[in-house]
Amino acid sequence: MIKHIAFFVACLYAGACAALPPHKLSLTYDLSYNGIVAAELTEVLEHDGKVFSLTSEGRGKGIGALLYRGAAKRTCRGEITAAGLRPLEYRDQRGDNPANVARFDWTRKTLTQQHDGKIETTAMVPSLHDRLSFVYNFAFQISPDLNPGRDIKVTLTDGKGLTQFHYVVAGRELLKTPAGELETVHLVKQRESKDDRGTEIWFASGRNYLPVRILTIEHDGARIDQMLTRIDD
């Protein structure tokens, strides 16, 4: 109760409550591999200012519909704080395979990951998120610090393990998308070696810092590009 009161008081003074994303919205993306669209991804965000849920579901599209059957689905639920999203549970399921699950116990400061019939509990590390809540976290921060040159270090769980990411804010860009031209903030992952996977993320600064584009570059140069095509709110 106290943390929610503190959050709304902070919103009042910062004028941020009105800037929160709509209580429900849907974002649609095309997912391409080396320029060829292979899947469509739909992500749904719902919140009431206190708690949130996220659902991301991808299905084959074009040639991808012929190659891949079933759906890949990720979900996350948790709480909203003055610092942003605080996940409680993350699930990642591919087709009919058992889901990988991550559960966050913020009282005991533990993370429990469930995968391949195993359950592992470890102590939380700083700046911990799951792979879904992280890209929506800036949308719920009262005043996100995304000035050029800023370092952003985060540890992400996918239910199977932890991966550390180091991003640098590259700057602001006007990005052309099928959903229109959007003012964005561009983050670039810092590679630790030539074999490290590259990642770049663009957030819409005029649309609550929602994720617009996520580009992954494999060590062999293959490009996996997630591009926004529509926002429904």
How does pLDDT run across 124-150, given as a tens digit for each residue? Answer: 999 999 999 999 999 999 888 999 999
- DSSP code, position 98: P
Helix or strand (DSSP H, E) at 137: helix 133-137
| CATH for 2-232 (2.60.120, 2.60.310, 2.40.360, 1.10.20) | 2.40.360
Rg (CA), the chain: 18
Written as six digits, the tokens of 73 are 């689905």
- DSSP code, position 169: E
b/e code 22-33 from CB counts within 10 Å (16+ = b): eeebebebbbbe
Which region holds residue 225: left if phi is over 0, alpha if psi is between -120 and 50, else beta?
A: beta
Summarised one tens digit per residue, pLDDT across range 172-231 is: 999 999 999 999 999 999 988 877 899 999 999 999 999 999 999 998 899 999 999 999
In this structure, the strands spanning 180-189 and 162-177 are antiparallel
Written as six digits, the tokens of 27 are 């974002």
- DSSP code, position 171: E
Cα distance between residue 163 and residue 23, in whole Å = 30
Cα distance between residue 104 and residue 129, in whole Å = 9
Summarised one tens digit per residue, pLDDT across range 87-108 is: 999 999 998 899 999 999 999 9
Helix or strand (DSSP H, E) at 45: strand 36-47
Q: What is the pTM for the complete model shown?
A: 0.87
Predicted pLDDT of residue 194: 76
Cα distance between residue 127 and residue 47, in whole Å = 22
Name the residue ranges covered by the structural domains of the chain.
2-232
Q: Name which of 142, 206, 141, 213 is nearest 177 in CA terms.
A: 213
